[in-house]
Amino acid sequence: MSAELLRHLRDQFAFDDAPRRHDLAAYHVPFDVLAPGGPSPERTLAAATRRGERLVVEGSSGRGKSSLLASVLGEDAEGVVPFLVPMSAEPAETVTEPRAMAVHLVQTIVAAAKRAEVLRGSEDEALREATPTRVVGRDQLTGRVGVTLGVVAAELGRQAAGGDSMPRSATAIFEVVHQLLVTIATERVMPVLVFDDTDRWLGTAFDEPERLVRAFFGKVLLQLRDFPCSLVVAVHPRYRQRPEVSASIDRVLTTRIDLPPLPDFDAVARLLARRIEAHVEADPDPGRWHGSSVSDVLAPAAVERLFEHYRRGLGNELRTVVRTVHVALATACDGGAELITVEMIDASVASWSDAGPGS
């Protein structure tokens, strides 16, 4: 049975280290469960956004920032309407020029409202067309967030029909954004602008990444400070190495959330257990996997070894923990194994990393 379970998890990409956003929420394990005893990032984020605070969620790539934001500021968020503002795929002008950012915000908000209106009118049909086959996550804007946006969609469309009719001046466009946010707030919810992918500017795909960072945090973000909404920005710690950037972050984002590291191998087990549970629960015949746990997938020593790698060679990244298991799971299935072993974990790390315990 264990070998069959392993094949099921492999076929469902249960340990995909880059899942879609709405799958992230399904996989999320609260940080106060992973690292009990400290402050809860989830409770802090939820309460602060409802109050309209401006927050920085700080952590290196792969530490769980996106997972946290998808979980707390997802489709079932209470008292808020989050807008995920994509950045890394946008032209440099959007990142560096306030007017371009304002246009981007208008388009983001109006697109979300229009989509919510479509879902409100024919939700099942829209979901069939818009949602790829997937067993875990749910598509965006189908819960309370979608209902709220559906109510105000007509008014939002009246105020800002789209980029073709956008005013010329930056001041006028910022006023459009302001009015859109005020309209949403009349529904007694707090709009939230969420910037989740600014750490991707560190990648090699971007020309002059330091210029992007300085302009966004030093000029563009400053212009968003007075909007009637909550503001959440995920930030890589390396941005703090420049004093002027660090000062800009603190000037605008007044509430800071740091993500704790995993304290022990039990936390690693909890992280993996949620992945297993999600795909057992979503199976058309979940009864055949009833009672399955981490011990049915990984040998106890393999979980301990995984924690060693996490501390010493994987940069304390949750993403690399999951990636390691993903590769090891394929090895186990290819060999017809009943469990993922220590040797498979070591081989997985070695296949894409030069680091490991004792190195």
Is residue 184 domain-shared with residue 328, that is, in the same domain? no
Q: Assign 110 a pLDDT band (cuts: 50, 70, 90).
A: confident
Report if residue 210 sits inside a domain: yes
CB 109 within 8 A of CB 177: yes
What pLDDT does residue 112 have?
84
Is the pLDDT at 89 greater than 50, yes or no?
yes
Buried/exposed 11-36: b ≥16 CB within 10 Å, e otherwise = ebbbbebebbbbbbbbbbbbbeebbe
Report if residue 18 sits inside a domain: yes
337/141: higher pLDDT = 337
Alpha helices by DSSP H, the chain: 2-11, 21-27, 31-34, 41-50, 65-72, 92-96, 98-121, 123-130, 144-159, 170-185, 209-215, 221-223, 243-252, 265-281, 300-312, 318-334, 342-352
Is residue 116 domain-shared with residue 199, that is, in the same domain? yes
Per-residue pLDDT of 185-218, as tens digits, reads: 887 899 999 999 887 775 555 667 788 889 999 9
Report if residue 357 sits inside a domain: no
Last residue of a domain, one of 215, 240, 258: 258
Is residue 197 domain-shared with residue 154, that is, in the same domain? yes
- Distance (Å, rounded) from C-alpha 208 to C-alpha 92? 10
What pLDDT does residue 258 have?
94
What pLDDT does residue 13 have?
94
Is residue 97 domain-shared with residue 242, that is, in the same domain? yes
What pLDDT does residue 203 have?
59
What pLDDT does residue 186 have?
81
Q: Mean per-residue pLDDT for 125-141?
A: 44
Is residue 17 domain-shared with residue 70, that is, in the same domain? no
280/34: higher pLDDT = 34
What pLDDT does residue 288 have?
78
Residue with tokens 């388009």: 107
What pLDDT does residue 184 have?
87
Is residue 24 domain-shared with residue 96, that is, in the same domain? no
Other Cβ atoms less than 10 A from the Cβ of 124: the count is 8
Is residue 307 domain-shared with residue 180, that is, in the same domain? no
Per-residue pLDDT of 217-258, as tens digits, reads: 999 999 999 999 999 999 999 889 999 999 999 999 999 999
What pLDDT does residue 76 have?
81
Q: Assign 127 a pLDDT band (cuts: 50, 70, 90).
A: very low
Q: Cα-flanking dihedrals φ and ψ of residue 168, to 5°?
A: -80, -40
Report if residue 318 sits inside a domain: yes
- Distance (Å, rounded) from C-alpha 33 to C-alpha 50? 23
Per-residue pLDDT of 32-70, as tens digits, reads: 999 998 899 999 999 999 999 999 999 988 899 999 999
Q: Mean per-residue pLDDT for 335-349?
A: 97
- For 284, counting Cβ atoms within 10 Å of its Cβ (0-12 exposed, 13-18 middle, 19+ buried), the class is exposed
CB 56 within 8 A of CB 249: yes
Is residue 123 domain-shared with residue 252, that is, in the same domain? yes
What pLDDT does residue 131 have?
39
What pLDDT does residue 264 have?
96
Per-residue pLDDT of 309-321, as tens digits, reads: 999 877 789 999 9
Report if residue 116 sits inside a domain: yes
| Mean pLDDT taken over the chain | 84
Domain tally, the chain: 2
Q: Which domain holds residue 241?
A: 39-258
Is residue 166 domain-shared with residue 305, that is, in the same domain? no
What pLDDT does residue 342 have?
98
The secondary structure of residue 298, as a DSSP letter, is B
- Distance (Å, rounded) from C-alpha 151 to C-alpha 54? 26
Is residue 191 domain-shared with residue 280, that is, in the same domain? no
- The CATH number that applies at residue 201 is 3.40.50
Last residue of a domain, one of 210, 240, 258: 258
Is the pLDDT at 128 greater than 50, yes or no?
no
Report if residue 33 sits inside a domain: no
Is residue 238 domain-shared with residue 143, that is, in the same domain? yes
Report if residue 295 sits inside a domain: yes
Last residue of a domain, one of 221, 241, 258: 258
- Distance (Å, rounded) from C-alpha 39 to C-alpha 259? 10
Is residue 193 domain-shared with residue 323, that is, in the same domain? no
Report if residue 275 sits inside a domain: yes
